Amino acid sequence: MSNQIKKIAVLTSGGDAPGMNAAIRAVVRTAMYKGLEVKGVMRGYQGLLEGEIVDMDSKSVSDIIQKGGTVLYTARSKEFATDEGKAKAAEILKKEGIEGLVVIGGDGSFKGAQGLSHIGGINVVGIPGTIDLDISCTDYTIGFDTAVNTAMEAIDKIRDTSTSHERCSVIEVMGRSAGYIALWCGIANGAEDVLLPEKFDNDYDKLIAHIKDTKAKGKKHHIVINAEGIGHSTSLAKRIEEETGMETRATILGHMQRGGSPTCKDRVYASIMGAYAVDLLAEGKTDRVVCHKDGKFVDYSIDEGLAMTKTIDEYMYEVSLHLGRS
Ligand code: F6P
């Protein structure tokens, strides 16, 4: 083996996502397969600053591939956001003899990893983990597939009761600044309207006119999928009821979208990304992020990855609109 790295660690950071356990398992088992020692950092960067580093081996990742959440726990850290925090964290890793770190999380977590590499000389590789799908350099993020299926199943159930009562339902799905869950559910659940933070022009009058129109055409329900980034679902439901005369209920799906057993896709893609991240560290690489782009697993420098931009697919959005309006 040409690499000099002997010991690596793995942590999860930011919001948890189903499939993170599959990635942790793949990191640990690939490291062992390559003869590397591997540690787990508990509670993300905050746990790192508190020295919460545990031994990992093949057994410590048994029976986790099918579980939601993250066995390493996760946290957000204000202290780590500072240069001093990063320098301290790098020192803690060095004292443990850890030369490489796999960070499973979102954009913010990758920026943190970059700091560890630039300030502290630790080799770092990021794996995109977020249900929001809002990491620009990759078409896939760990957890999105499970979350969108969880949301879709919940919305199907709401649709049943919405139809029985001939109501309008405003359903809020997660995505603080990204509408991917809303868009996918909009198409998958046959919603009449989808409100995305990237697209919605605040034209509530148009939305209300559309609801009146579908009611006049005899539709038995009207499903509005509203992304968290737009929010205010309860007051929106009240306004719709007042202005259209159609009984309206709001449901905020919330954190149930972040839990549950990962889908096959999340288990498989997360496993491949975990193995890929260890391959990169073993080759002596640093400042890389593992991505899935145009059907292939690839890696970019974190800088290059963070500089990329991602927009809602126009055609997909158009389809969601015309299927809901005709
Ligand atoms: O990043 C994933 C996400 O679930 C967002 O969709 C949501 O806005 C946020 O995390 C919620 O964070 P928290 O769990 O801290 O409330």
pLDDT bucket at 324, cuts 50 / 70 / 90: confident
Ligand 1 near 320 CB (within 6 A) = no
Position 1 scores a pLDDT of 42
Q: What is the mean pLDDT of the chain?
A: 96
Gap from CA of 214 to ligand 1 centroid (Å): 33
pLDDT tens digits along 226-253: 999 999 999 999 999 999 999 999 999 9
The Å distance, Cα 312 to ligand 1 centre, comes to 19
pLDDT of amino acid 201 = 92
Which residues have a Cβ under 8 Å from the Cβ of 68 and sit 6 or more positions away?
16, 18, 21, 146, 258, 259, 260, 261, 262
pLDDT given for residue 142 in this prediction: 98
> Span 13-23, mean pLDDT?
97
Q: Which of 132, 134, 145, 299 is catalytic?
A: 132
The amino acid present at 320, given as its one-letter code, is: S
Question: What does the angle CA 2 – CA 5 – CA 117 come to, to the nearest 5 degrees?
Answer: 120
Ligand 1 atom with the shortest distance to the CA of 228? 8
From the alpha carbon of 106, which atom of ligand 1 is closest?
1
Q: pLDDT band for 326, please (50, 70, 90 cuts).
A: confident
Q: Which atom of ligand 1 is nearest to 14's Cα?
A: 1
Is the shortest distance between the CB of 286 and ligand 1 below 6 Å? no
| Sequence-ordered strand ranges (E) for the chain | 7-12, 37-41, 53-55, 100-105, 123-128, 168-173, 193-195, 222-227, 248-252, 288-293, 296-301
160 as an active site residue: the answer is: no
Helix (H) / strand (E) containing 115: helix 107-120
Q: Is the CB of 131 under 6 A from ligand 1?
A: yes
Q: Is the CB of 175 under 6 A from ligand 1?
A: yes
Ligand 1 binding pocket includes 179 (Cβ within 6 Å): no
Ligand 1 close to Cβ of residue 72 (< 6 A): no
Coil, helix or strand at residue 211: helix
Give the residue, out of 107, 109, 131, 146, with the most ligand 1 atoms within 8 A of its beta carbon, to mutate for a pocket test. Answer: 131
> Which pair of structure tokens corresponds to residue 250?
């709001």
Burial classification of residue 151, based on how many CB atoms lie within 10 Å of its CB (0-12 exposed, 13-18 middle, 19 or more buried): buried
First CA to last CA distance, the chain: 61
- Whether the CB of 197 sits within 6 Å of ligand 1: no
Assess whether the C-beta atom of 253 lies below 6 angstroms from ligand 1.
no
Please, are residues 98 and 8 in contact by the beta-carbon 8 Å criterion?
yes
Q: Is 174 near ligand 1, meaning CB less than 6 Å away?
A: yes
Which ligand 1 atom minimizes the distance to the CA of 176?
8
Give the Cα separation of 316 and 299 in Å (integer). 26
pLDDT tens digits, residue range 193-231? 999 999 999 999 999 999 999 999 988 899 999 999 999
C-alpha 176 – ligand 1 centre gap (Å): 7
0.75 exceeded by pTM: yes
- Distance (angstroms) between ligand 1 centre and the Cα of 16 equals 9
Paired residues of 53 in beta bridges: 41
Q: State which ligand 1 atom lies nearest to the alpha carbon of 175.
A: 6
- In this prediction, residue 325 carries a pLDDT of 83
